[in-house]
């Protein structure tokens, strides 16, 4: 008969290994979130080479995080792991949208469907800052293209009609995207009106000076 003591020893060994893997995953997740946040900041500053370099470091950290949890579904699907992966998606998608590169797929990023969708939603909200930066410099055509990307993302998100338990609360993220999208559309519309007014005034001044 197996003694409770030997059972306890095996359980302690198992849980010790799990706890060590958890600590490793937490460390990698925090590092990943930091790299992704810095990537997004670099994108907003227009420092695309820096963004690419930071994203490369994020990719390496993602691989380390995945390796730490691959044998334990509890750790893989834990909030801190999937949150890190969500930031990874957000940084990749934002960089692709701003630079006009091909949008990365869930398979390419090796993430779960719900995690990809939430990262996609957050990237859409980050586009607002880029659009506002653009319209301050009167580059409205490019801003319109990014707003169109926001529209396309929102149009996809509203078709994902599954319980929050499956999507990780995607409905709330979709609502946020809708609000940000409408505010951005309003800002862009106002900017275009101001540009047209300024152009009309300049034309009138030119005619008046002749």
Per-residue model confidence (pLDDT) at position 142 = 87
Per-residue model confidence (pLDDT) at position 209 = 62
Domain 1-110 shares a fold with domain 112-210: yes
Per-residue model confidence (pLDDT) at position 208 = 59
Ranges of the chain whose pLDDT falls below 70: 139, 197-210
Per-residue model confidence (pLDDT) at position 141 = 83
CATH of 1-110 given 3.20.20.70, 3.30.70.100, 3.40.50.620, 1.20.58.2140: 1.20.58.2140
The angle at the Cα of 82, spanning 106 to 127, to the nearest 5 degrees, equals: 60
Q: What are phi and psi of 101, to 5 degrees?
A: -80, 170
Regarding the domain delimited by 112-210, which CATH topology (the fold level of the hierarchy) does it fall under?
Answer: Methane Monooxygenase Hydroxylase; Chain G, domain 1 (1.20.58)
pLDDT, one tens digit per residue, over 138-190 is 767 888 999 999 999 999 999 999 999 899 999 999 999 999 999 999 988 88
Per-residue model confidence (pLDDT) at position 202 = 67
Per-residue model confidence (pLDDT) at position 189 = 86
The residue extents of the domains of the chain are: 1-110, 112-210
CA distances from 12 to 6, 71, 93, 148 (A): 10, 18, 42, 54
Give the list of residues 6+ apart from residue 48 with CB closer than 8 angstroms, or none: 42, 95, 98, 99
Chain centroid to CA 126: 8
Structure tokens at 65: 């995080």
């Amino acid at each position: 008969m197996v003694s409770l003591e030997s059972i306890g020893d095996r359980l302690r060994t198992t849980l010790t290994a799990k706890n060590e893997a958890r600590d490793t995953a937490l460390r990698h997740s925090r590092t990943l979130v930091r790299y992704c946040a810095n990537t997004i900041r670099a994108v907003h500053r227009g420092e695309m080479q820096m963004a690419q370099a930071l994203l490369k470091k994020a990719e390496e950290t993602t691989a380390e995080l995945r390796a730490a949890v691959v044998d334990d579904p509890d750790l893989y699907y834990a909030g801190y792991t999937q949150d890190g992966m969500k930031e990874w998606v957000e940084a990749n998608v934002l960089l692709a949208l701003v630079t006009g590169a091909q949008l990365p797929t869930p398979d390419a990023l090796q993430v779960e469907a719900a995690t990809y969708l939430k990262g996609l939603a957050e990237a859409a909200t980050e586009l607002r800052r880029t659009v506002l930066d653009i319209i301050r410099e009167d580059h409205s055509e490019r801003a319109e293209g990014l707003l169109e990307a926001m529209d396309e993302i929102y149009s996809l998100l509203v078709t994902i009609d599954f319980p929050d338990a499956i999507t990780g609360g995607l409905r709330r993220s979709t609502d946020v995207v809708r609000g940000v999208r409408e505010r951005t559309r309003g800002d862009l519309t106002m900017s275009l009106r101001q540009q047209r007014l300024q152009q009309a005034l300049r034309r009138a001044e030119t005619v008046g000076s002749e």
